[in-house]
Structure 1
Amino acid sequence: MAVTIKDVAKLANVAPSTVSRVIANSPRISEKTKVKVREAMEKLGYHPNFHARSLANKSTNTIGIVMPSSANKSFQNPFFPEVIRGISSKAYQENYGLYLSTGQTEEEIFQEVVHMVQGGRVDGIILLYSRVNDKIMPYLQQQKFPFVLIGRPYNEEIHSITYVNNDNYKAAKTVTEYLLLLGHRNIAFIGGELDFVVAVDHKKGYEQALKNAKIPIREEYIISHHELEQGGEDAIIQLMSSSVPPTALIGLDDIMTFGLLKMFSEMGIRVPDDISIVSFNNVLISELSSPPMTTVDINIFGLGFEAMKLLVEKIKEPTKEVKSVIIPHKLVKRQTCKALNRSEKKDE
């Protein structure tokens, strides 16, 4: 015969309603009582029937996770598994499962979100990216559906959306200033597609640091990730063959920068002797690359964990005020940057 809540309540010497609240991780129950009830559940081999609870509570105990492209492509970038690890760590504490989007195009992703909401498949949604003129966020706001964004909302939405982010403008400005302190004046920048807000913020930070140093912004030094994907080696050859080639480069992320290191090696361009490189994210590959990358640690796990924490708060208290949480970043100095000697510094 299956073990019931009443059996657990009897062994733990509490009311059945207390057991239900422990299963729901109610803050009204003390930690001491939670421990006692969970020990009784474990001893009896009791497993909550979440499907039955969902029907009764009109809750799925499931969170939707929306990625910027298909799961197959996204998981090639270590950012996404790591941010999902942060989300799932907090989800486990709160007894939530995860539902991942798998759409291949923007329209497929949007339709999948509509199915999640209208079909009652999830209790809330975490968006793993912020896109300029995105359709999903206005839809979720219109539906009054709980969601949290990882990233900064586009300007006009910033005061109405709960989000978790790094200060990407400041991070890009800081790494540009770091290269300036090392004596570099000819600094190239490879950014992401400008319909993603993180790419907009990185570019603004880079440009502001140069303006503050009274260094002209060279358009030929700015390459988009899309150009690099399409042209690859051609884009880098064009950059390094300019009349005044850059002595330093800021990369979009560690994966892309890893490809650059390989490309430079094949071209006979030495890092950091011929060119210094700074990247973003500090995923495992950055430490294992040759040479190990100087990069910005953005605490990817913390982004996911905090986003899940905020979403649970929104689900439990729908009228809770909008929040924004900025996760600190730090520059991790390794071996892809070098200070220029006076003789190596070139005039603008």
Structure 2
Amino acid sequence: MAVTIKDVAREANVAPSTVSRVISDSPRISEKTKRKVRKVMEEMGYHLNHNARVLVQKSTQTIGIVMKNSTSASLHDPFFPEVLRGISALCHQQEYNISITTGESEEAIFQDVVKMVQGKRVDGLIVSYSKKDDKVVPFLVQSGIPFVVVGKPIGKANEIMSVDNDNIRAAREATEFLIQLGHKKVAFIGEQPQFEVAAARRTGYMEALRLNDLEIEPAYIKSLDKTVLMKETVDEVMDLPNPPTGFVVTDDITGLNLLLCLREKNIKVPDDVSIISFNNTFIAQLATPPLTSIDTQIYQLGYESAKCLIEEIKNPSMFKKSVIIPTIIVERESCMAIKVK
């Protein structure tokens, strides 16, 4: 037979209302009493009736995670599992559950979000990207539900809670790292420019060139999508009369693909070309050669986004803050000083 609140109250020699307040972590109950009641709950094997708690507190104790792409595509990118690891760690501490969008298309993901919000299935949401012309964030703003964006919000950024890196600065430092190694011809390969992170990193790359009095060569700047493949991009750039000797790429997967395509053309890294990427995932460490990569502290991005969201859920009137997670260059074997010919 299941253990009830009354059973716990009897064993702990307190009123059932006191047990209920301990469960809801009421500030009216002393820490000493909370420890006593929680110990009895553990010893007796009491498990909270989640559905009853939802009815009483009008809270689902669940946060929604809005994926950038379909779940299968997102989880193949090592960035997202690491973000989820950070989110999960904080949610576990705060006794929150997670619900992830499962749509296979942009519209299906949006409909998942609508169902979460209108069906009152979650207390708040984390949007794991920032994208131009995205339908999700304007809908969440209009709905009034607490939410946090991982990235720099597009539009009224001061009205939206966010957790991000300073991607312009990080890309500027990445580009200057290559320039200091003697590379004067540096190319940039990014993901689709409608994503704010790609646009910010391209901006930082161009800033570094200007600050170092280097010409911005449009033929060196490339964006990848479903219709533009890495092999085609590498062929276009490396077959130029003056091909680059260094590449800044916006993530480790792109860096690995670049390595493979250069290898097919018998271009050696780092002897002929140097590469610096972003995120410092396991892919950067396992590549051959290992990639120099900007550590964006992905786990911390997830952890802080969950922390900010739960703070807002508990205190809806709090100001919309922006948290910036610092980055650092992790040097590996994909970069070397340019050879003087």
Please classify the TM superposition score into its range, dividing by the shorter chain length: over 0.9
Partner of 2:329: 331
- Deviation, structure 1 residue 13: 4.4
1:122-161 equivalences in 2 (<5 Å) = 122-154=122-154, 156-161=155-160
Q: Quick one: which amino acid aligns to residue 218 of structure 2?
A: E
Q: Are positions 1:311 and 2:287 aligned together?
A: no
TM-score normalized by the length of structure 2: 0.95
Partner of 2:221: 222
Question: Equivalent residue of 1:122, what SS?
Answer: coil
**In the alignment, is the contact (CA less than 8 A) between 2:230 and 2:258 conserved in 1?**
no
Partner of 1:74: 74
Of all paired residues, the percent bearing the same amino acid is 50
Q: Distance in 2 between matches of 1:266 and 1:35?
A: 63
- Deviation, structure 1 residue 25: 4.2
Q: Quick one: which amino acid aligns to residue 311 of structure 1?
A: L
- Deviation, structure 1 residue 34: 4.1
Partner of 1:266: 264
Query: 2:294 aligned to 296, 299, 303, which one?
Result: 296
Q: Distance in 2 between matches of 1:31 and 1:280?
A: 45
**In the alignment, is the contact (CA less than 8 A) between 1:25 and 1:94 conserved in 2?**
no
- Deviation, structure 1 residue 142: 1.2
- Deviation, structure 1 residue 27: 5.8
Partner of 2:246: 248
Question: Equivalent residue of 1:226, what SS?
Answer: coil
Partner of 2:177: 178
**In the alignment, is the contact (CA less than 8 A) between 1:117 and 1:145 conserved in 2?**
yes
Q: Quick one: which amino acid aligns to residue 123 of structure 2?
A: D
Q: Distance in 2 between matches of 1:27 and 1:297?
A: 40
Number of aligned pairs? Answer: 341
- Deviation, structure 1 residue 37: 3.0
- Deviation, structure 1 residue 32: 4.9
Cα distance per residue 1:199-235 (max 9 Å; x no partner) = 11000000001011111110110111227x6333122
Q: Distance in 2 between matches of 1:34 and 1:60?
A: 22
Q: Which blocks of at least 5 consecutive residues in structure 1 are unaligned?
A: none
- Deviation, structure 1 residue 22: 3.6
**In the alignment, is the contact (CA less than 8 A) between 1:22 and 1:37 conserved in 2?**
yes
Partner of 1:279: 277
- Deviation, structure 1 residue 6: 2.7
- Deviation, structure 1 residue 23: 2.9
**In the alignment, is the contact (CA less than 8 A) between 1:225 and 1:252 conserved in 2?**
no
Partner of 2:106: 106
Question: Equivalent residue of 1:296, what SS?
Answer: strand
Q: Distance in 2 between matches of 1:152 and 1:129?
A: 8
Partner of 2:91: 91
Q: Distance in 2 between matches of 1:211 and 1:27?
A: 56
Change (3 A) 1:291 1:14: farther
Which stretch shows the higher mean deviation, 39-48 or 230-239?
230-239
- Deviation, structure 1 residue 11: 3.4
Partner of 1:164: 163
Cα distance per residue 1:248-283 (max 9 Å; x no partner) = 001121112112112222221111010000000011
Change (3 A) 1:321 1:17: farther
- Deviation, structure 1 residue 7: 2.5
Partner of 1:24: 24
Cα distance per residue 1:30-72 (max 9 Å; x no partner) = 6554443332222101110111110222211111100111101
Q: Quick one: which amino acid aligns to residue 231 of structure 1?
A: L
- Deviation, structure 1 residue 8: 2.4
**In the alignment, is the contact (CA less than 8 A) between 2:224 and 2:230 conserved in 1?**
no
Q: Quick one: which amino acid aligns to residue 247 of structure 2?
A: L
Q: Distance in 2 between matches of 1:322 and 1:313?
A: 11
Q: Quick one: which amino acid aligns to residue 172 of structure 2?
A: K
- Deviation, structure 1 residue 302: 0.6
Partner of 2:186: 187
Q: Quick one: which amino acid aligns to residue 221 of structure 1?
A: Y
Q: Which blocks of at least 5 consecutive residues in structure 2 are unaligned?
A: none
TM-score normalized by the length of structure 1: 0.93
